[in-house]
Chains A and B, each alone.
Chain A
Amino acid sequence: MVQVKLSGPLKLAAGGKGELEIEAANIRQLLDRLCADHPKLKPMFDRGVAVAIDGQIYRDDWFRPIPAGSEVVVLPRMSGG
């Protein structure tokens, strides 16, 4: 199981739950299962999200493994200038 934190507006879409436990070995599994449990997240994920694993931020990297015991945070998609 992975302890996942939802940051920003994602938390509201998950019914106010900021921390969840999900069975996921990689980012895609994580996002799929979050969507299945909380369908309001789907449009937000479709617009794009970023996932931080142990402090490193990944964008659209579905098959990035999530090591056991990692700190995982799902964030809105970010872009810069």
Chain B
Amino acid sequence: MPLDAKLDPATHHFRLVGTRPLRPDGVDKVTGRARFGADASAPGMLVARILRSPHAHARIRAIDTTKAARLPGVKAIVTSADFQPGDPAIHDVLCNVMARDKALYDGHAVAAVAAVSAAIARKALKLIKVDYEVLPHVTDVDEAMKPGAPLLHHGMKTENVEPAPKKASNVASRCEFGHGDPEVGFKQADVVVERRFKTEATHQGYIEPHACLASVGSDGQGELWVCTQGHYMVRNTCAALIGMDVSKLRVTASEIGGGFGGKTTVFIEPVALALSRKAGKPVKLVMSREEVFRASGPTSSSSIDVKIGVTRAGRITGALADIRMQGGAFAGSPVELGAMSAFACYDLEHVKAVGWDVVTNRPKQAAYRAPGAPMVAFAVESVLDELAHKIGMDPVELRLKNAAKEGTQSSYGPKYKRIGLGECLEAARQHPHYKAPLGKNQGRGIAAGFWFNFGGQTCVSLNVNIDGTVVLAVGTPDIGGSRASMCMIAAEELGIEYDKVRAIVADTSSLGYNDISEGSRVTFSTGLATIAAARDAIGKLTARAAKTWGISPDAVVWENGHARPSSPNAGDFAPLSLAEIAKTAGSTGGPIAGHYEVNAGGAGVSFAVHMADAEVDPETGRVHITRYTVVQDAGKAVHPSYVEGQFQGGAAQGIGWAINEEYFYGQDGRLQNPGFLDYRIPVASDLPMIDTVIVEVPNPGHPYGVRGVGETSIVPPLAAIANAVSAAAGVRLTELPMSPPRVLAAIDGAVAKKKPRS
């Protein structure tokens, strides 16, 4: 079957796709046999530790490592001098990995030591003398944009503004998306609401800290075992940063204890490699939880103004957003994606979203599930909720009246192909949750969300073994159950059982390049490549059967795991199973394997609608989420349990983001809560059972109709919960997290406003 042969998910009967077999990695994970980043070890291994800046902003005048180098047991020390600038595209990564002339945030790495024990490495760090000139700092996005704010980079002049600024600032760039003229739209509106929103930075909260083991031999050949979402990216970036040939560095991805976007870049890996090269021994480097918080990427904090106008009939006439995001000490906040996605759910004639990318003295942000979109959805969907109340319209009805559909010109440019927002909204409206009664101090909120989903470079090999089993080698680390889904897809195509296929994540020297597991791309693009690799193998299997029977390959078809003559005219031969063809492969032409390499395009966008019930304690301001439902379009759910898991995971992380999680910086610009005791992610007792509804509107760009599902689920929760809390508290909440002090202050403020003046 050619790759472009598409199966209509509405009518095609899938044998395995859509079922719920056991995950292949489950036993290893529950018994502790699975090997995560910190589980790697090697003979003669050294232990590394990193010295980090105690200042939010400081010039580094000098670093003296003499005493540390003399400490017995210390085998190597590296500073920025061991990493040479080269590729301008990754210069910021280089400066983030090891501070060069300035430390730009509390926790910025300034030196690293490899020693025979952790105790000696820690002692050595204390012997390194860094001469700092402490500089003024700024950590708030709005403060950083003001004239006179402490400047992080004296060469930074805002890009994409006319006329080009002559003075440096902390604003790296401006972007703008949309069409029409919102001011014209506001004049047509009966009701206009304009509000300002703020969200705090949140960490991805992966349970496994960054960890790696590096080994560089005297011949310059290197190996790296690492916990990452993209080991090919790690290989290419590290090779560039420390000056190695790509072919000399072999990177193996470990099992991963969560990533959520935060493991799509490098932090410690080039440091471990540089230390290993210098020491001539393997070096293990594992971040502490404190280091994860201080020095790996959280998402951006944001400050957003949104203005939307509607008619009393519920038609949105104009929409405008001004979005400011700080991405830490380097340019690259996800504000562009936030601006593109801000109004992507709606069919609008007049819409504009402006974004500002701002730097502050915080760690360089990293991607976090649908980067940029949740904060903007919080603002937009909150204003829509308020508008629905003002015009007396059901909030789902208001969204349905304006929902984007096939042919709608999106606010970021292209027209949509077939999409499922309308179906999600209808499914939400029909769900029992939507009509369930609420108790005292409870409120209900709904919100819609959008994410793009991506494809990208992907390479897959499928090897048919002598006993008829199959090994599938993929290059995308399994962050969401992709090995199970790939086994199902391969088995579906080959016509064999699920447990006859084993999927592995191959190392970088064993399989062609693969982009990172990010952008909700793996089930889409690795799945697409698996389908094609299986069809490639089927072509070879049928050719072997044809040879065996002495007929033309064109006269053989593949059905239910067997080669068969395509018609009685082709000959009367008993069907040959995959196992039978595999058994004689050595005599019929050699090994049988299928391959496919692609830069996959055509990933379908995805929409979700979330419903949340919140109870607010008016005495303390504490918020408790009492019920939660996720409705999302998956295109075609390959393994529904994993899809539901993605839906629930996004909602759970969104609940934490909405009501608890926050980076606290002191007056000195130092992070005050770098640990799970004070940075509170949700635990089981904070969460209700999260119901899920899988909507399946096929993606026309995939043979099975698959859409990515990993990110969209974190887009609506902030807004859905804010709408629920606002309804319960009787006052609009516009700042996240909605922690008890903020909620209480909002309630007290509303009460004070209502009190008559004496």
**A and B, one complex?**
yes
Partner of A57, one of B367, B414, B457: B414
Chain B residues lying within 8 Å of A61, measured Cβ to Cβ, are 599, 601
State in angstroms the CA–CA spacing of A5 and B409 once bound together.
12
Partner of B371, one of A7, A60, A81: A81
A80 touches B415 (CB 8 A): no
B711 contacts the other chain (CB 8 A): yes
State in angstroms the CA–CA spacing of A57 and B456 once bound together.
10
Q: Give the residues from 143 to 196 in chain B that come closer than 8 angstroms, CB to CB, to chain A.
A: 159-160, 162, 173-177
A54 touches B417 (CB 8 A): yes
B585 contacts the other chain (CB 8 A): no
- What bracket does the count of chain A residues touching chain B fall in? 20 to 34
State in angstroms the CA–CA spacing of A12 and B159 once bound together.
10
Contact with B along A2-39 (1 / 0, CB 8 A): 00010111011100000000000000000000000000
Which stretch of B13-21, B516-524, B690-698 is in the interface? B516-524
CB closest chain-B residue, reference A11: B176
Contact with A along B356-397 (1 / 0, CB 8 A): 000000000001111100000000000000000000000000
B601 touches A79 (CB 8 A): no
A79 touches B177 (CB 8 A): no
State in angstroms the CA–CA spacing of A53 and B564 once bound together.
40
Contact with B along A50-81 (1 / 0, CB 8 A): 00101111111100100000010101101111
State in angstroms the CA–CA spacing of A5 and B371 once bound together.
24
> Taking the nearest CB of chain A, how far is it from the CB of B264, in angstroms?
7
> Taking the nearest CB of chain B, how far is it from the CB of A26, in angstroms?
12
Chain A residues lying within 8 Å of B264, measured Cβ to Cβ, are 79, 81
Chain B residues lying within 8 Å of A13, measured Cβ to Cβ, are 160
Which stretch of B268-276, B447-455, B494-502 is in the interface? B447-455
A55 touches B415 (CB 8 A): yes
Chain B residues lying within 8 Å of A8, measured Cβ to Cβ, are 175-177, 336, 339-340, 412-413
B413 touches A5 (CB 8 A): yes
CB closest chain-A residue, reference B353: A8
Q: Give the residues from 510 to 528 in chain B that come closer than 8 angstroms, CB to CB, to chain A.
A: 518-521
Residue from A9, A55, A58 having most chain B Cβ neighbours under 10 A = A55
Chain B residues lying within 8 Å of A80, measured Cβ to Cβ, are 261, 367, 369-371, 451-454, 518-521, 711
A73 touches B413 (CB 8 A): yes
B603 contacts the other chain (CB 8 A): yes
CB closest chain-B residue, reference A59: B456
B414 touches A81 (CB 8 A): no
B337 contacts the other chain (CB 8 A): yes
Q: Give the residues from 542 to 565 in chain B that come closer than 8 angstroms, CB to CB, to chain A.
A: none
Contact with A along B413-441 (1 / 0, CB 8 A): 11111000000000000000000000000
A56 touches B602 (CB 8 A): yes
A81 touches B176 (CB 8 A): no
Q: Contacts A81-B367, A81-B370 given: A55-B417 contact, CB under 8 Å?
A: yes
Given contacts A73-B413, A79-B454, 9 further A-B contacts (CB under 8 A): A8-B175, A8-B177, A59-B456, A75-B340, A75-B414, A79-B519, A80-B451, A81-B204, A81-B367
Residues of B within 8 A of A (CB): 89, 159-160, 162, 173-177, 204, 260-262, 264, 336-337, 339-340, 367-371, 412-417, 451-457, 518-521, 599, 601-603, 701, 711
Residues of A within 8 A of B (CB): 5, 7-9, 11-13, 47, 52, 54-61, 64, 71, 73, 75-76, 78-81
Could you jot down 29 A-B contacts, CB within 8 Å?
Answer: A7-B177, A7-B413, A8-B175, A8-B336, A8-B340, A8-B413, A9-B159, A9-B160, A11-B176, A12-B162, A52-B414, A55-B414, A55-B417, A57-B414, A57-B602, A58-B601, A59-B455, A59-B456, A59-B601, A64-B601, A75-B414, A76-B336, A76-B340, A79-B367, A79-B371, A80-B367, A80-B518, A80-B519, A81-B204
